[in-house]
């Protein structure tokens, strides 16, 4: 297992380098002079020259790239133009809120999808199965920018059960987590239902039932672990979608996370902060996919044995 982890880490190095290069190129792909865009049309020539020197944009591109990589290795992503604070400090202040929201959304999705998917697989073509398919279709069809305001109107304004926005205690987390978790729960419900239904017809499950276990016991004790293997892959891929989807949700609920910070940085033309936010989201996505591969190999040892 250690050799498998080491090999996967080495395979990530070129991906990290490519992502860092694309993020570095972000400020150079902008049409026109990025410094003039940051300062606006009425900026003086002296101010433009000073900011260009401060950002290092007056140096050759290769020198800028080397300095960017050296700063990245030290954890130095420059200074925010608007906040006049280190970008790394700002990202670390807002990152926990985004992770909290993403993990809470995953929890909501699992709490809905796992029991509903198992019940649908065990009662195929019955009422609960039809309901699960309807819920899955509904969940993936509702966009966050519509569901969020509807939940606010119902639970925060009409019934006054939950806060409208902000991050003040666990009650503030309920509505944004429901907004993000509903779509994922619909997808996971379909995956768990189809994967578990397929496993229930495998010989090892039929053998367990022949030895006296009920269909439900055989499903939970033996089939469920194998049925979760493709689900784990989907969760790893969808976690990145949660981070990007959190940008909209954080804006709707004024959640002080990384996504909202990036949106504000774009509006303020704070390009060093935009670069840092995009880089952190990308690196998180890469790390989550690595953890997904490791968990996948734990569930199915054949994965690491085939690649050893």
- Which pLDDT tens digit goes with each residue over 232-277? 778 877 777 777 667 888 888 988 888 889 888 888 778 888 888 8
Q: Are residues 157 and 292 in the same domain?
A: yes
CB 280 within 8 A of CB 72: no
Residue with tokens 């935009």: 274
Give a yes or no: residue 52 inside a domain. Answer: yes
How far is the C-alpha of 91 from the C-alpha of 82, rounded, in Å? 14
Q: Are residues 148 and 278 in the same domain?
A: yes
Give a yes or no: residue 82 inside a domain. Answer: no
Which of 43, 74, 105 is the endpoint of a domain? 74
Q: Are residues 138 and 65 in the same domain?
A: no
Give a yes or no: residue 98 inside a domain. Answer: yes
pLDDT band at 303; cut points 50, 70, 90: low
Nearest-CA neighbor of 300 among 236, 233, 237?
233
* Greatest mean pLDDT among 9-18, 34-43, 88-97: 88-97
Is the pLDDT assigned to residue 217 strictly greater than 60? yes
Q: Are residues 40 and 112 in the same domain?
A: no
Which of 74, 103, 133 is the endpoint of a domain? 74
Q: Report the percent of the chain where pLDDT is more than 90.
A: 20
Q: Are residues 180 and 44 in the same domain?
A: no
Which of 53, 74, 95 is the endpoint of a domain? 74
Q: Are residues 103 and 248 in the same domain?
A: yes
Q: Are residues 46 and 110 in the same domain?
A: no
Residues 6+ apart with CB under 8 A from 208: 217, 218, 221, 222
Range 74-79 average pLDDT: 86
Q: Which spans in 200-256 are helix H?
A: 203-210, 215-218, 224-252
Asked which of 36-40, 47-51, 106-110, 189-193 is least confident by mean pLDDT, the reply is: 36-40
Confidence (pLDDT) at 227: 86
Give a yes or no: residue 79 inside a domain. Answer: no
pLDDT band at 290; cut points 50, 70, 90: confident
Q: Write the pLDDT tens digit of every residue in 133-143.
A: 999 888 888 88
Confidence (pLDDT) at 61: 80
CB 177 within 8 A of CB 110: no
CB 133 within 8 A of CB 190: yes
Nearest-CA neighbor of 145 among 266, 246, 242?
246
CB count in 10 Å sphere of residue 100:
17
Q: In terms of residue numbers, what domain contains 162?
A: 87-306
Give a yes or no: residue 81 inside a domain. Answer: no
Q: Are residues 204 and 285 in the same domain?
A: yes
Confidence (pLDDT) at 175: 93
Indicate the SS3 state at residue 79: strand
Nearest-CA neighbor of 193 among 221, 222, 231?
231
Q: What is the pTM of this model?
A: 0.81
Give a yes or no: residue 80 inside a domain. Answer: no
CA 177 from chain centre, in angstroms, equals 13
Confidence (pLDDT) at 89: 93
Q: Are residues 96 and 139 in the same domain?
A: yes
Is the pLDDT assigned to residue 302 strictly greater than 80? no
Give a yes or no: residue 207 inside a domain. Answer: yes
Looking at every residue in the chain, the average pLDDT score rounds to: 84
What is the number of domains present in the chain?
A: 2
Q: Are residues 58 and 202 in the same domain?
A: no
Is the pLDDT assigned to residue 306 strictly greater than 60? no
CB 176 within 8 A of CB 250: yes
């Amino acid at each position: 297992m250690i050799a498998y982890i080491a090999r996967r880490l080495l395979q990530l190095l070129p991906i990290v380098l490519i992502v860092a290069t694309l993020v570095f190129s972000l400020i150079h792909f902008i049409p026109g002079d990025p410094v003039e865009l940051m300062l606006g049309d009425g900026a003086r020539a002296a101010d433009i020259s000073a900011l260009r020197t401060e950002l290092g944009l007056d140096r050759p591109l290769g020198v800028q790239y080397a300095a960017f990589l050296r700063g990245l290795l030290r954890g130095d992503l420059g200074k925010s133009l608007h906040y006049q604070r280190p970008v790394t400090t700002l990202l670390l202040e807002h990152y926990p809120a985004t992770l909290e929201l993403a993990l809470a959304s995953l929890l909501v999705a699992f709490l809905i999808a796992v029991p509903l998917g198992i019940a649908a697989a065990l009662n195929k073509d019955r009422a609960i199965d039809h309901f699960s398919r309807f819920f899955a279709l509904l969940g993936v069809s509702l966009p966050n920018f519509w569901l969020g305001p509807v939940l606010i109107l119902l639970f925060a304004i009409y019934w006054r059960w939950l806060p409208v926005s902000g991050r003040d205690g666990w009650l503030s987390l309920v509505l944004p987590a429901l907004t993000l978790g509903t779509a994922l729960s619909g997808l996971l419900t379909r995956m768990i239902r189809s994967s578990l239904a397929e496993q229930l017809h495998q010989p090892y499950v039929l053998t367990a039932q022949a030895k006296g276990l009920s269909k439900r016991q055989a499903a939970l004790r033996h089939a469920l672990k194998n049925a979760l293997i493709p689900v784990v892959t989907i969760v790893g891929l969808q976690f990145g979608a949660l981070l990007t989807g959190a940008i909209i949700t954080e804006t709707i609920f004024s959640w002080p996370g990384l996504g909202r910070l990036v949106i504000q940085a774009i509006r303020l033309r704070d390009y060093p902060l935009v670069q840092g936010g995009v880089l952190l989201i990308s690196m998180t996505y890469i790390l989550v996919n690595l953890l997904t591969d490791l968990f996948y190999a734990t569930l199915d040892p054949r994965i690491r044995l085939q690649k050893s």
